[in-house]
Amino acid sequence: MKKGLSDVKTSFKYDGNQYFGVDDFDLISEKGSIVDNVVYEEYVFRFLDNIDIVVQTEYNKEFNAFGYTVWFENKGDANTKVFSELFCADMKIQGGNPVLKGILGDHIHQYKPYKINLKEEEASFKQETGRATHVVFPYFLLETDNGSNFMALGWAGTWSASFRYEDEGARFIAKGVNNLCTYLKPGEKIRTPLVLTMSSDIVRDTEKAMNLWRRWFVKYNMPPVKPMITNWLALDTGRPNSDGSISEYYGSWKPSMEKYYAEGLHMDIRWVDAGWYVDPENNSVPTDWWGTVGTWILDREKWPGDSFRESIEYADERGAKTMMWFEPERVTNVEALSKNHGFKKEWILANGGPVMLANLALPECVEYLTDRITGTMDEHGVHMYREDFNCDPAGLWAVGDGKEEGQRHGITENLYIQGHYRLWDNIITYCKRANKLPFIDSCASGGGRNDLESMRRAVPFLRSDSDRTSTGLRLAMTTSFMQWIPCCGASTKETTEQLTAGKPDIYVLRASYLPILNYGFEYTQDKDLDYDTLRQAQNEWLQVKKYFYDDFYVLTPWHPEHETDKWTVYMFINPTTQEGVIQAFRQERCEDESVTIRVRGVEMDKYYTVIDMDGRNSAKSVKGSDLAEGFAITLPEKRMAAVLFISKE
C-alpha cells in the first residue's frame, strides 16, 4: 500500500458484498503535489463494473494532520449495482481509558460542551435535518493514555458518528448521507465526507491539545480572514425593520454613514442583509423578506438609479467593503420565477409545504445561481458574499430521491452537497478574479453550516442567531465554540428578543470582542446614543484583535447562559512573544467581588507586566510561576468587565 492509503479507513457494501479500504483494488494512476507544506495525493483505483474509486489525501507533517475523501464514479454506459452502508471512517484508536470531549451544535444545544468516558458509555451523534452543525457538531477530541486524537468531518448535510470502547482503545465510525443506498447512473459520482484526523503525544492536557488544533485550523484550514469590524445600518432607517435589511433604502444609508464616520467610528465591512431584492413578481418587498426570495435582483423602488452603488462606493472610499446577503437554495413563487427570471420548474424540490428548494444536485441549477449571484455582485460592486439557509433540507432531498427509479436513497443529498460546495467555489473564483473578498460568511439560521469543509471556504460572522440576546449566552458560547473555530462573531447588544435594537454598554461590548465585531445601532434615530462608549469599545478591540488567533485558555469552569452568578474569565496569549489579553466578567448575579485565576501559557521563570485598561488590577514584575499559581482580579460591582493586557518584561 502507498504511504497514507492504509489510513484511509472507509468501508462500503456493493451489490451486498462488504469491502474495507482500497487494498484489494487495482491502482491505475496516481499524482501528487505539495502546497504550503501540505502533501496532496490522488489515487485512482479500478473497481468492478467500470467503477473508478478515487482517493484524495492530504498530509501535514507539522501537525501530523491527515485527511481524505473517497469518490466513486461510474465510468461505464450502464447503471451500476447498489452501493450501501458507505462509512467514511471505521477506525481504531489505540490507548487506554479513552475519554471523548467536544461540544454540541447550535440551535437547541447552543454549543454546550460534553465529556464522555467511553469505558462507561458509548457516544453517538446523528445529524438528521440536513444542516450539519445544528444540534450536533462533527468535531471531536479523543484523549487516551497514549495521547490526544482529533477527528472532524467535512460534510454540509446529514451525518452520523459513534465512539465505543474496544480492546483498550476506542472505535470511531462515521458516515455522511445517513440513508445512502443507491446505484450510480453512467457518469455519476458520489463521495464521502472529508475525514480529518490529527494525533499527538499530548496526554491528558486538553488545553494544550485544543491550542494545537487552533493553530492548525488557523494556519491550514480557515480562509485568510483578518479580524474585522462590520456595520449593519438597518436599525437606523426610521422605518420598521422586520429583520435583515428590509427597511434600508436610498434615503437612509447616507445619514447613517455620515454620522458613523463623523463620530470617529471605523468599519471594515458594511453589512447588507435580507430584504434588498424584489419578489418573483418584480414587486418591492416592504416586510416579508422570508417569503419573497429567489430573484436576486435589486429592489429599484428602494434603490433607484445608481443609489445602491453610490452607497457602496461611499463606504469603499473610506476603507469599508460591502457584504450582501443571499439565500439561493430556498425559493418562492416558482411560477413567477419561471416566467420572469428564467428559473426552471424542474429544478424544484417540493413536498406541498411552504418550503421549496432549488435542486443543487443539478449542475444547470448551480450554474444559473452562480450567474445570478455573481452578476448582481458585479453590477453593483458588492465585495463579499454572505449566505443564509433558513430551512431543514433533508425531507426535500428525500422527495428528490423518490422521483428516481429503483433504489436511489441519499443520491439527491450527495449530489446536492457536491453542488453546494461547487457553488461556493464558483463564487470564490469570481471574487478572486474580480479582486473582491475571497471568502464567504456562512450562515444557516445562525450556526447550521460550519462543518470542516465549509470552513475552508467560509467563516461564521454570526455564530448563532441566539447570540443576539443575552451576554450570559454570549460568554457561554465564546468559552466553548472558540476552542474549535477561532474566527467568529456575535451581536454587540443585549436584549430579550433577537431582533430588538439595543443600547451600547461597555460590559456587553467587551463580551463581544471577537474576531468579527458586529456593530448595528440607531446612529441617527437614537438621539441619546452613547458614542463615547462605542468609540471606547472599538479602540479597545483594535488593541485586542491581534491576539484572537493565538492560544486560547478558559480560566473559569464553563457554565450555561442562565448561571449568571459566576465569573467568566478567558485569555489569549501568543506563545512566542508572550503577550496576550485576559478578559474577565463578573456576571449579573455574582456576589464575589474577586476571582483568582491561574494564568496559562506563561514561562515560569520570567517576569510579566499586567495592565488593566481600567487601572484596577494592574501589576508589574510578577513572576510567571506566581501568575500560574494564582492572580486575583477584583471588580467592585456586579455586571462589570475587565480587559487586562499581559506581556513579558
Give residue-wise pLDDT tens across range 94-136: 999 999 999 999 999 999 999 999 999 999 999 999 999 999 9
State yes or no: pLDDT of 4 exceeds 90. no
d(CA 139, CA 209): 13
Residue 618 is inside which H or E element, if any? none
d(CA 488, CA 583): 17
d(CA 227, CA 216): 18
- Cell digits of residue 399: 422527495
Which band of pLDDT confidence, cut at 50, 70 and 90, is reported for residue 308? very high
- How many other C-beta atoms lie within 10 A of the C-beta of residue 564? 20
How is 153-196 classified by DSSP, letter by letter?
Answer: EE-SS-EEEEEEE-SSEEEEEEEESTT-EE---TT-EEEPPEEE
pLDDT in tens, 591-633: 999 999 999 999 999 999 999 999 999 999 999 999 999 999 9
Q: Which of 246, 239, 240, 322 is nearest to 279 (CA)?
A: 246
Q: What would the mean pLDDT of 25-49 be, rounded to a whole number? A: 96
Interstrand relation of 194-200 and 147-154 (parallel, antiparallel or unpaired): antiparallel
Global model pTM greater than 0.95: yes
pLDDT of 497: 79
d(CA 6, CA 645): 47
d(CA 133, CA 141): 16
Place of cell 471523548: 100
Q: What would the mean pLDDT of 306-311 be, rounded to a whole number? A: 98
- Cell digits of residue 116: 464522555
pLDDT of 501: 76
- How many other C-beta atoms lie within 10 A of the C-beta of residue 191? 22
Q: Which of 502, 512, 485, 503 is nearest to 229 (CA)?
A: 512
The per-residue pLDDT of the chain, averaged, comes to 97
pLDDT of 496: 77
d(CA 25, CA 420): 30
pLDDT in tens, 58-92: 999 999 999 999 999 999 999 999 999 999 999 99
Q: What are phi and psi of 521, to 5 degrees?
A: -130, 175
- Cell digits of residue 543: 488593541
How is 624-646 classified by DSSP, letter by letter?
Answer: HHHHHH-EEEE-SSSSEEEEEEE
Interstrand relation of 269-272 and 321-326 (parallel, antiparallel or unpaired): parallel
pLDDT of 2: 55
Instruction: Show the beta-strand stretches assigned E in 353-424.
Output: 356-358, 384-387, 408-409
Q: Which amino acid is at 140?
A: F
Please compute, for residue 614, the number of CA atoms within 13 A of its CA located in the half-sphere on the CB side: 17
State yes or no: pLDDT of 1 exceeds 50. no
Q: Which amino acid is at 211?
A: N
pLDDT in tens, 200-212: 999 999 999 999 9
pLDDT in tens, 532-583: 999 999 999 999 999 999 999 999 999 999 999 999 999 999 999 999 999 9
CB 414 within 8 A of CB 130: no
| Beta bridge pairs of residue 101 | 115, 141
Which is more confident, 3 or 165?
165
State yes or no: pLDDT of 170 exceeds 80. yes
d(CA 58, CA 41): 6
How is 192-257 classified by DSSP, letter by letter?
Answer: PPEEEEEEE---S-HHHHHHHHHHHIIIIIS-----EEEEE-GGGSSS---STTTT--TTTHHHHH
State yes or no: pLDDT of 218 exceeds 70. yes
* Percentage with pLDDT > 70 across the chain: 100
Q: Which amino acid is at 203?
A: V
* Percentage with pLDDT > 90 across the chain: 95
d(CA 267, CA 448): 26
- Cell digits of residue 89: 471512517
Domains and CATH numbers, the chain: 5-209 (2.70.98.60), 228-539 (3.20.20.70), 551-648 (2.60.40.1180)
Q: What would the mean pLDDT of 306-318 be, rounded to a whole number? A: 98
User: How is residue 5 annotated by DSSP?
Assistant: G
The SS3 of residue 261 is helix
Which band of pLDDT confidence, cut at 50, 70 and 90, is reported for residue 3? low
Please compute, for residue 419, the number of CA atoms within 13 A of its CA located in the half-sphere on the CB side: 23
State yes or no: pLDDT of 173 exceeds 50. yes
CB 450 within 8 A of CB 460: yes
- Cell digits of residue 458: 467560509
Please compute, for residue 575, the number of CA atoms within 13 A of its CA located in the half-sphere on the CB side: 12
Torsion angle, CA of 164/170/171/172, rounded to 10 degrees? 90
Q: What are phi and psi of 420, to 5 degrees?
A: -70, -45
List b or e across 203-223, with b for residues whose CB sees 16 or more CB atoms inside 10 angstroms.
eeebbbbbbbbbbbbbebbbe
The SS3 of residue 590 is coil
Q: What would the mean pLDDT of 446-457 be, rounded to a whole number? A: 97
CB 159 within 8 A of CB 413: no
Lowest mean pLDDT among 11-20, 45-54, 452-461, 490-499: 490-499
User: How is residue 381 annotated by DSSP?
Assistant: T
Q: Please name the residues in contact with 600: beta carbons below 8 A apart, sequence gap of 6 or more.
A: 207, 551, 553, 555, 571, 573, 628
State yes or no: pLDDT of 392 exceeds 70. yes
pLDDT in tens, 320-379: 999 999 999 999 999 999 999 999 999 999 999 999 999 999 999 999 999 999 999 999
State yes or no: pLDDT of 386 exceeds 60. yes
